[in-house]
Structure 1
Amino acid sequence: MSENSKITPGLSQVKAIAPYIGGRPISEVAREYGLDESKIIKLASNENPLGLPESAKAAMMAVMNDLGRYPDSNGYELKKVISEKLQVPDHWLTLGNGSNDILELVTRSVAQSGDEIIFSKHAFAVYPLATQAVGAKAVEVDAKPADLGHDLEAMLAAINERTKLIFVANPNNPTGSFLPGGAIEAFLKKVPSQIVVVIDEAYNEYLLPEQQYDAIAFVRKYPNVLVSRSFSKAYGLAGLRLGFSVAQAELTDLLNRIRQPFNVNSLAMAAAIAAFNDEPFLAQGAAINRAGYQQLTQAFTEMGLHYLPSAGNFVLLQVGDDDQAGSRVNLALLKAGIIVRPVGNYGLPKWLRISIGLPEENEAFIKALGQILGK
């Protein structure tokens, strides 16, 4: 078939989607700029700088001989571990190929063309993508000016008879803004019961003790609430792609009706079972994150740079006053062998999102940034 041959046109809303672009891989940057891969530092994708926990490595090795067989499509063993720790029935759980899969599943389960889905400006890029894929209307509510976080009152005001779904990210990516549990529950009390509310907690494990709240209690209380969590961040399993959701039985049943068979592989489930209860690894990661946050933000303050307080494992940093600042500084950092995340696609062209790395990685970034900005 020639390149000029006509093919069946796709759905208009699908053809209009701009594909998601993740943080650039180390190998790609090395090829493009002629750099040594081993010397490149990646602070772009909010990955755990400790990498894969040893407990997960051992668990994966233990199931290697069974990889010739399909995984357990229901994920019984992993669901058992999660349900015991969170004290919820296992039939309230859905496993996803990353929490991204969960977000798309819930969107497909409850919304279609003509419906409306509400989320905040500067929130996770998958919300508008999932909305567009089902032909629903995206209702993007302006963020609060102070922290670029969710304005819950404005989101409530945006609800109408066509609203089917609301996304609330806490902490929010890429701004790092945080909503106290009390504010979220006050919001849930005012949302009509027929509208599904997703509380996206991909960065939940990084919350400080004084910030922590029980979102699972909201699920027990409100049948229209779904909590989404990820194994990609604090648990160090980003390359294995695994997330899960907690919701009452009726909503969970909808997700599992359209979930792909075998959407989570055997290695991922074995690793997750080990990592989920690896408290020393989680504690070590949290400590490194807290220290790294202080290391970065102290340097930003000394350089006179504006950043937003963050409850996640990243910091949103303003690197200039013009709309080319983010892309300009990002390019200079790439040439220096440091990968961060430009966020112009989030409507933040003056900013960069910096994942918190190991102390030496943070220091290399700080040094390169200072040289680029003349600080």
Structure 2
Amino acid sequence: MKFKAALQSLQTYEAGKPIELVVREFGISANEVIKLASNENPHGCSKKVQQCVAQKLASMHLYPDDSFYQLKEALGAKHKVDTSQIIIGAGSDQIIEFAIHAKCAKNDGILMAGVTFAMYEIYGRIAEAKIIRTKSSTHNLSEFTELYKQHSPSIIFLCVPNNPLGESLKVSDIQTFLKQINKECLVVIDGAYQEYATFKDEEMRISVAEFIRDFPNVLYLGTFSKVYGLGGMRVGYGIAQQEIIQTLYKLRPPFNITTLSLVAAIEALKDEEFIKYSLQDCFTQMKQYEDFCRQRGIRYIPSFANFITLFLDGLGDSTTLAQKMLEKGVIIRNLASYGLNAVRITIGTKEQNQRALSLMSALL
């Protein structure tokens, strides 16, 4: 059977390995497996969210409110935007797909950093767009500007903080860059890890309302999968000028998140104390990794997210390290598929981090 030609050379997205797989393959007890590969909140989600979802279980047979009125009201209040400027997705990556299909025709350009979230390219290539990457792995805005002038892309992706590397951009630098971009070019600012960046450095804080007011070609993305601890619920959102949102809605299937996902997201926004604790603990625990790297001369990227990227220059092979740690029940992310001899490690609890670092020290 023949399929779309663009799919022939397309690599499947490599998700972090689930705990169940490690249990099956290596015979390790599930409670001995540590998953530090997918940037989930190690503290789970708010207990208030769990209680709220449990109370809603009897309503699982009912479709959710497809207007997502309550969730949009809460997000609108949080970001100081009108609800007509918000779209809800099954994870923010669904909205990435909407944006690319809405904007890109065959051979239209999509500009992104040299190493960034893989789904930008995957969805782009499905749409038969031209993928344009900077030479630098991280977000080098001088290179972005040069490539923009050279190729006039239809979409630009700025992942701030960047997944899988962890670096970010100052808001002032993003604003300077956006002033050079034609209003017909859609600029997607992927803020999946924005809560972490903002907590660490106020200069990274993106005021969504100001951005979409001053730059009508900006689409901002957020998610409940990271600091809110709802990765398993799959809820993301996009915020932009009403014209952009109305266009994206034409691609949105009905009831694209579940009844329980909707309840969880609404409740998660209310528990600010849980979010503050999660953010504080993340950067407290991250110091263990930074100290480990400095003591052993391991190069790393100072992270503005809930993970850290370590380069194994001359210290070993990332594929071998990730596999050996996997066999011992510690799941980390190998970045060999990005052309890097590096691993990305989610910041876990104190005990999880100590175990991961002890094992890594022995293996290296």
Query: Is the structural similarity TM-score above 0.5?
Result: yes
> What is residue 329 of structure 2 aligned with on the other side?
337
2:120 alignment counterpart: 127
Residues 1:327 and 2:316 are matched in the alignment? no
Q: Alpha-carbon deviation of 1:17?
A: 1.8
- Cα deviation for residue 139 of structure 1 reads 0.6
Deviates most, 121-130 or 207-216: 207-216
The answer for the alignment partner of 1:197 in structure 2 is 187
| Larger deviation, residues 362-371 vs 291-300 | 291-300
C-alpha deviation, 1:179, in angstroms: 0.3
CA distance in 2, matches of 1:142, 1:198: 20
Q: How many Å apart are 1:21 and its aligned residue?
A: 1.2
Q: Which moved more, 1:232-241 or 1:261-270?
A: 261-270
TM-score, normalised via structure 1 length: 0.93
Residues 1:38 and 2:27 are matched in the alignment: no
Q: Which runs of 5+ in 2 are unaligned?
A: none
Please tell me the residue identity of whatever aligns with 1:330.
A
Deviation (angstroms), 1:256: 0.7
Q: Partner letter of residue 132 of structure 2?
A: V
Alignment gaps of 5+ in structure 1 = 1-6
Q: What is the aligned length?
A: 360
Residue number in structure 1 paired with 2:339: 347
Q: 1: distance between equivalents of 2:177 and 2:163?
A: 20
Give the match's secondary structure for 2:116: coil
Separation in structure 2 between the aligned mates of residue 247 and residue 154 of structure 1, nearest angstrom: 25
Equivalent residue for 1:49, pick from 17, 39, 42: 42
Q: Which residue of 1 aligns with 2:138?
A: 149
Name the structure 1 match of 2:282.
289
* SS of the residue 1:117 aligns to: strand
Tell me, yes or no, if the aligned pair for 1:202 and 1:228 is still in contact at 8 Å: yes
Aligned equivalents of 1:218, 1:229: Cα separation in 2: 14
Deviation per CA, 1:38-72: give whole Å up to 9, x if none: 10111100000001211211221232222211112
SS at match of 2:88: strand
What is the distance in 1 between the residues matched to 2:32 and 2:69? 41
Which segment is superposed worse, 292-301 or 231-240?
292-301
Counterpart of 1:14 (choices 2, 7, 13) is: 7
Contact 1:170 1:179 in 2 (8 A): yes
Please say if 1:368 is aligned against 2:359: yes
Contact 1:121 1:140 (8 Å CA) reproduced: yes
State the TM-score, normalized to the length of structure 2: 0.96
1:157 corresponds to which letter in structure 2? E
Report the alpha carbon displacement of residue 259 of structure 1 after superposing the two structures with TM: 0.9
C-alpha RMSD of matched pairs (Å): 1.3
CA 333–320 in structure 1, closer or farther in 2 if over 3 Å, else same: farther
Matched, 1:266 2:255: no
Q: 1:69 & 1:329 partners in 2: Cα distance?
A: 46
1:185 corresponding residue in structure 2: 175
Contact 1:55 1:271 in 2 (8 A): no
